[in-house]
Amino acid sequence: MLNIRNLQAGIEGRKILKGINLEIKAGEVHAIMGPNGSGKSTLASTLAGKKSYEVLGGSVDFLGKDLLELSPEARAAEGLFLAFQYPIEIPGLSTTNFIKTAVNEVRKYHGKDPLDAVGFLRMMKEKMALMNIEQSLLSRPLNEGFSGGEKKRNEIFQMAMLEPKLAILDETDSGLDIDAIRIVSNGVNKLRNKDNAVLVVTHYQRLLDYIVPDFVHVLYNGRIVKSGTKELALELEERGYDFIKNEVNVEEGV
Amino acid sequence: MNSVEHYKEHFDQLQSTDKNGLTAIRKNAFDAFNKFGIPTSRHEEWKYTRIGGLFNKQYQFPVSTGSLSANDINDLRLPGHEQANELVFINGIFSFPLSKIISPELIVQSLEEAASNEFKEIVAANLGHSSDYLKDGINALNTAFVNGAVFVHVSKGKVTEHPIYIYNITDARTENIFSQPRSLVHVGQNAQVQLIETYVTIGASESFTNAVMEIVVEENALLEYYKIQNDASHTNQVSTTHIRQVGKSYVHAVTISLNGGIVRNNLNIVLDAERCEAHLYGLYFQKGKSHIDNHTVVDNVKPNCFSNELYKGVMNDEASGVFNGKIFVRQLAQKTNAYQSNKNVLLSDNATVNAKPQLEIFADDVKCSHGCTVGQLDEEALFYLQSRGIAGKVAHSLLVRAFATDILEHVKPAPIRAYIETLIAERLEY
Ligand SMILES: Nc1ncnc2c1ncn2[C@@H]1O[C@H](COP(=O)(O)OP(=O)(O)O)[C@@H](O)[C@H]1O
Ligand SMILES: [Mg+2]
């Protein structure tokens, strides 16, 4: 589904990703862990097509297409979804209107007619029940004054509405208490199937108790320095990131 | 048209043919016009809005409503007009035949008539009150030529269910027109009324409208006032609305400016009684080379008044904008609460905004604040929308529309709100 080869990217002239290699197949859950500042959000945003990140080398194949050539909206329409670490507040734009526009824009991309009011409402109702989200939240301006948990639940609700092939969750657990993490990961798990894949980006292991990964990768200093199974996450939790840093520094002769 | 002699001839003719109660006020104003002249950019209040060039052209100086018929203006009517009172000015002259009054609590007369009947005290006390605030030749010019003006009285204790639509129509089909609509509105005690004003030019010649509306709001009255400007780019206007709250009362004023050549708005609110409340909202969304200038004054004369002002601007292409918001708090006006905010988004590198808040506070126990911002659409927000599959152009439109929301939600009459929404949707092409 996703094949990242030697991806290098930076911001404001500074190289942050220094050669990422990663392959994700349909049906898999991958986790990327790493200390703060290691480049996790940079990777997520570069994949989603954020303009301020400059691709300096490498390639990304997504479902047979050259992802890096696509606009952010085309990436989304092709089935890539990024749940933001910090969802943006947009006063004056109702959440429902936003989601409706998104759903219909994706349909338009695929040459389909927009959903009519009834069709859209039916879809909303179904996903609201699935995600345990109330109408009152969706009537409010997009993310404005939402609590941390509400913002993250709203991200996953949007994911449910857009039914992506690959969902990238950037620190969806940060700032959430255990109950909120359980609700959010429940939502994600309900959306999983053999045809889609999830890339979970997280600093802590605890989210991975709920969204169980097939593979865990450690990102450090712009590179994936270690890959393993879910046991690697537990090891990181126990020993902290220092042991990874030491290993890497020894290898690099620092 | 920039020499005083040019006006002198017209003025003498008007004074000799129309010898009613208004000759004295006209004479004073003409003297003021002579003294001030046409404002240049050296005038502090006209620094960024240059209208001198407009006076270099030749205009017809109309004295009658001309030849437009009800049919000719049918297409110009605002949505909801079936249920509205309609007051029509043609080329600055009020037209009784084209106007329509359906609310019995409204009295509509020529100002000349009101100046000499039972309303003469109201007229004497309020006509020309705006000149205390607008010390320039352009305000004086309107008063010097008060003619074909209208007086509107909303009877005491009445809630006007049908709004009043005011059309300032210019017939520029054959020649350039300079028109000067003038009105005085008196909202009686405990009365409630909605006024909706708009400007339309017919024809391809240039129009220059210099309008003055003065409104007096009595004790316990409620006024909603809307100004909608979406005239063509070969039309220019100086549009003054001067509202004086003489009893504890409530005013809600919204100015929506979407197009025009040079547009200068003066909105003055004089809080001349204790516990008055005033809300001022404005949205200017300009394209091409249009120029929009909003000058507002909130004058707290008496204690315990509240005012809140929010103006928002979206400037595209080579449009230029000015926001100048003054708040005066007089020495007597303790416990004033006055808030002001102006926010601008520039959509193009060639668009500009000059924003200037001015607070002049002479009382010590007051709460006042002001703030202004000029920026671009938020890149992070754009990316957020795009990352959900929304095309860049659509995302852009959604963000502009979102920015305008907290102004548009204050347009209360549903048909007018829908009309403005449509104009904005057309502009944003969604
Ligand atoms: N907008 C930016 N401008 C400059 N540097 C940035 C910007 N965003 C991130 N960085 C830098 O890039 C590095 C990686 O950041 P990030 O990808 O956010 O890390 P992570 O998500 O792993 O915590 C950090 O050193 C950070 O300071
Ligand atoms: Mg991050």
Which of A53, A78, A82, A88 has the highest number of chain B CBs within 10 A, making it the mutation to test binding with B? A88
pLDDT band at B106 (very low <50, low <70, confident <90, very high): very high
Residues 6+ apart with CB under 8 A from B62: B91, B92, B93, B177, B178, B179
Q: Which pLDDT score, from 0 to 100, does residue A240 have?
A: 80
Name the nearest CA neighbour of B176 among B207, B147, B218, B197: B207
B347-395 pLDDT per residue, tens: 999 999 999 999 999 999 999 999 999 999 999 999 999 999 999 999 9
| Nearest protein CA to atom 2 of ligand 1, as residue | A11
Return the domain boundaries, chain A. 2-89+165-251
Buried b (16+ CB within 10 A) or exposed e, A40-62: bbbbbbbbbbbeebeeeebebeb
Extract the tokens encoding A97. 């209107």
Over range A17-30, report the average pLDDT: 96
A235 pLDDT exceeds 90? no
CB contact under 8 A, B389 and A98: no
Q: Which pLDDT score, from 0 to 100, does residue A179 have?
A: 86
**How much is the pTM?**
0.94
Measured CB to CB, residues of chain A less than 8 Å from chain B are: 48-52, 71-73, 75-77, 81-82, 84, 87-88, 90-93, 97-99, 101-102, 105-106, 109, 141, 158, 162
Helix, coil or strand: residue A120? helix
B282 pLDDT exceeds 60? yes
- Cα distance from A50 to chain B (closest Cα, Å)? 6
Instruction: Return the amino acid letter for B274.
Output: E
Q: Which residue has the tokens 């030529």?
A: B145
Q: Which pLDDT score, from 0 to 100, does residue A253 have?
A: 55
Beta bridge partners of A5: A59
For A214, other C-beta atoms within 10 Å of its C-beta total: 15
Over range A220-239, report the average pLDDT: 89
The phi and psi torsions of B199 (rounded to 5 degrees) equal -130, 130
Over range B187-194, report the average pLDDT: 97
CB contact under 8 A, A51 and B383: yes
Chain B CB contacts of A102 below 8 Å: 385, 388-390
The phi and psi torsions of B107 (rounded to 5 degrees) equal -115, 120
Asked whether A222 and A54 are in contact (CB, 8 A), the reply is: no
- Helix residue ranges, H only, chain A: 40-48, 72-77, 95-109, 117-131, 135-139, 148-162, 178-191, 230-239, 242-252
A25-80 pLDDT per residue, tens: 999 999 999 988 999 999 999 999 999 999 999 999 999 999 999 999 999 999 99
Q: Which pLDDT score, from 0 to 100, does residue B20 have?
A: 73
pLDDT band at B140 (very low <50, low <70, confident <90, very high): very high
B256 pLDDT exceeds 70? yes
CB contact under 8 A, B402 and A162: no
* Cα gap B49→B24, rounded to integer Å: 31
Q: Which residue has the tokens 């008196």?
A: B186
For A234, other C-beta atoms within 10 Å of its C-beta total: 14
Chain Cα centroid distance, residue A71: 17
* Cα gap B376→A167, rounded to integer Å: 30
* Cα gap B349→B187, rounded to integer Å: 45
Residues 6+ apart with CB under 8 A from A118: none
A80-110 pLDDT per residue, tens: 999 999 999 999 999 999 999 999 999 999 9
pLDDT band at B211 (very low <50, low <70, confident <90, very high): very high
Asked whether A131 and A158 are in contact (CB, 8 A), the reply is: no
| Cα dist from A55 to A23, A46, A58, whole Å | 18, 8, 8
- Cα distance from B67 to chain A (closest Cα, Å)? 45
B308-361 pLDDT per residue, tens: 999 999 999 999 999 999 999 999 999 999 999 999 999 999 999 999 999 999
Asked whether A33 and A233 are in contact (CB, 8 A), the reply is: yes
Asked whether this complex has an ipTM greater than 0.90, the answer is: yes
Of all helices (H) and strands (E), which one includes residue B207? strand B207-217
A252 pLDDT exceeds 70? no
| Cα dist from B225 to B185, B217, B327, whole Å | 11, 12, 20
Helix, coil or strand: residue B134? coil
pLDDT band at A131 (very low <50, low <70, confident <90, very high): confident
CA of A38 relative to ligand 2 center, distance in Å: 8
Q: Which residue has the tokens 């996703």?
A: A2
Average pLDDT, rounded, for chain B = 95
Specify the CATH superfamily of domain A2-89+165-251. P-loop containing nucleotide triphosphate hydrolases (3.40.50.300)
pLDDT band at B60 (very low <50, low <70, confident <90, very high): confident
B227-240 pLDDT per residue, tens: 999 999 999 999 99
Residue of A nearest to B381 (CA): A88
Beta bridge partners of A83: A169
- Cα distance from B265 to chain A (closest Cα, Å)? 26
| Cα dist from A38 to A14, A30, A52, whole Å | 13, 17, 18
The phi and psi torsions of B415 (rounded to 5 degrees) equal -65, -35
Strand order in the sheet with A223-228: A80-83, A166-170, A197-202, A29-33, A215-220, A223-228
pLDDT band at B64 (very low <50, low <70, confident <90, very high): confident
Asked whether B256 and B286 are in contact (CB, 8 A), the reply is: no
B296 pLDDT exceeds 60? yes
* Cα gap B312→B283, rounded to integer Å: 5
